[in-house]
C-alpha cells in the first residue's frame, strides 16, 4: 500500500526539531473469514508452513486502518504521524473469525515560519 504521509513508530522524526503535535489519530480495520478458511488454516498450522489466508486478512485489515488514519491526519493538516502503534486481534465467531487491526499515533506538522 502506498502511504499518503509518513507513519513512524519513533516518537520523533529524525533531523526534524520543529514539529507541532496536532493530536492523536486512530483507526481500526476489520475483515472476516469463514469456517472453511479456518479449518484449512488449522490443518496448515498443524502440518507447518505459512497460513496465507490469515496473512492476507491481516494485510487487508491493516491497509484499511492505515488508509483511515492517514485520511484523519491529513484532514487535520498533518505532514506525518509519529509514535505509531499497531495492534492485531482475532475475534472468534461461530463460523469464522474477525481479524482486527487497530492503529494509533500522533499527527504532527512542521511549525509555521520555522525553516530547518
* pLDDT (tens place) for every residue of the chain, 116 residues total: 667 899 999 999 988 888 999 999 999 999 887 655 555 555 555 555 556 677 888 899 999 999 999 999 999 999 999 999 999 998 888 877 888 999 999 999 988 765 55
For residue 113, the model assigns a pLDDT of 60
For residue 97, the model assigns a pLDDT of 81
pTM of the full predicted structure? 0.77
For residue 92, the model assigns a pLDDT of 85
For residue 45, the model assigns a pLDDT of 56
Angle, to 10 degrees, between the axis of helix 52-75 and the axis of helix 35-47?
120
Question: What's the helix, strand, coil split of the chain in %, to 5?
Answer: 30, 40, 30
- Return the CATH fold of 19-110: Translation Initiation Factor IF3 (3.30.110)
CA-closest candidate to residue 115, choices 7, 11, 17, 3: 17
For residue 82, the model assigns a pLDDT of 97
Which grid cell sits at 51?
497460513
The b/e string for 10-30 (b: 16+ C-beta within 10 A; e otherwise) is eeebeeeeebeebeebebbbb
Domain regions of the chain by residue span? 19-110
Amino acid at each position: 500500500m502506498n502511504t499518503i504521509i509518513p507513519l513512524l513508530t519513533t516518537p520523533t522524526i529524525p533531523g526534524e526539531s520543529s514539529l507541532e503535535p496536532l493530536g492523536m489519530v486512530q483507526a481500526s480495520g476489520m475483515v472476516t473469514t469463514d469456517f472453511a478458511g479456518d479449518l484449512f488454516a488449522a490443518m496448515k498450522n498443524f502440518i507447518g508452513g505459512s497460513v496465507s489466508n490469515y496473512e492476507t486478512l491481516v494485510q487487508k485489515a491493516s491497509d484499511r486502518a492505515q488508509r483511515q488514519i492517514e485520511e484523519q491526519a491529513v484532514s487535520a493538516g498533518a505532514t506525518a504521524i509519529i509514535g505509531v502503534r499497531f495492534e492485531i486481534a482475532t475475534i472468534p465467531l461461530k463460523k469464522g473469525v474477525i481479524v482486527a487491526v487497530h492503529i494509533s499515533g500522533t499527527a504532527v506538522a512542521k511549525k509555521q515560519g520555522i525553516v530547518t
